[in-house]
Structure 1
Amino acid sequence: METAEKAVVRRFYEIAGRPEDLDEVVAPDLKGHAGAGSDLAELKASLASFLVPFPDLTPELRYLVQEDDLVSVWLTYTATHQADFAGVPASGRRVKFAEWDLMRVRDGKIVEITQYCDLFTIMSQIGALPTAAPA
């Protein structure tokens, strides 16, 4: 069953590729943790900066689990590495990585968000990390 809170969270991912539109579903006084930044401005900046090297970033929501006003999201992203990321020049490689987000929704807006992204997998897939020990 799709609750109002889950619908807000689902909409977040539909428009996350357009950080300037996040005001639609995110409260202006957002409290952010971990990868989300500390507030709405940092969240928008973080997403915008991530879209430079990965402009075709596409989320696949795998699980949305709700308890009270909290929605936990396990998702997978796919994208193509098309510009410098963490000092690694564009490789043209496809990446697929997991993310876990926890969002608190009140009155139709996300008021708190915690994001954990699998950066190790991204760095490995774009060739920034060795893939095997020498023989």
Structure 2
Amino acid sequence: MAEHQNKAVARRAWEIFASGDLDALDDVVAPGAAFHDTQDPFGSQRGPEHMRNLIQMYRNAFSNMRFDVKLQISEGDYVCTLLEAQGDNTGELMGRPATGRHSRIQITQTDRIVDGKIEESWVTWDTLGMLQQLGLVPTGPQAAHT
């Protein structure tokens, strides 16, 4: 598959995340797809079902979610996407009550795409920054004294 088509698949996955059209995941995620993210509570799951659970968790926790793709680089079967994610924390997140605060973070995701579907994905995101913005962990001098 051409590199520009692979980029479109990776971008489409983020569009699905933003829209909440979870049935569309079957179109872009392979049945046995593996996901690598140290912050992922569904890490043992694979394929579209894994993505459905992860997306639903974040969509329940954040309203007004937006993903702005800043850069995509493709080589062979791999696509690296740099994006900005933002939303308002209006629901429970990993056992913590909603804070009502806005969060804006950077995400880098590298996908391996085979036959038009994501087969494997590695994601790195600013977990600490998000938790600080939500007021769930201390920042600045306050952090040094806890």
Same fold (TM over 0.5): yes
Q: Does 1:78 align with 2:78?
A: no
* Partner-residue secondary structure (3-state), 1:3: helix
Provide structure 2 residue ranges, at least 5 long, that are not aligned to the other structure.
none
2:55 is aligned to 47
Q: Over residues 78-128 of structure 1, what are the superposed CA-to-partner deviations in whole Å (9 max), with x where a residue is unaligned?
A: 100101223432121111011111101111111111112211111101101
Q: Does 1:121 align with 2:129?
A: yes
For normalisation by structure 1, the TM-score amounts to 0.89
Q: After superposition, where does 1:51-66 map in structure 2 within 5 Å?
A: 51-66=59-74
Q: Higher mean Cα deviation, 64-73 or 10-19?
A: 10-19
Which amino acid in the other structure matches residue 11 of structure 1? R
2:117 is aligned to 109
Which amino acid in the other structure matches residue 55 of structure 1? S
- State how far apart, in whole Å, the 1-side matches of 2:60 and 2:34 are: 24
Superposed displacement of residue 43, structure 1: 2.4
- State how far apart, in whole Å, the 2-side matches of 1:83 and 1:60 are: 22
Higher helix content, 1 or 2: 2
Check the 8 A contact 2:25/2:51 in 1, yes or no. Answer: no
For normalisation by structure 2, the TM-score amounts to 0.83
- State how far apart, in whole Å, the 1-side matches of 2:85 and 2:51 are: 17
Q: Higher mean Cα deviation, 57-66 or 27-36?
A: 27-36
- Number of aligned residue pairs: give it: 134
Superposed displacement of residue 12, structure 1: 1.0
Q: Does 1:7 align with 2:14?
A: no
Aligned Cα root-mean-square deviation (Å):
1.9
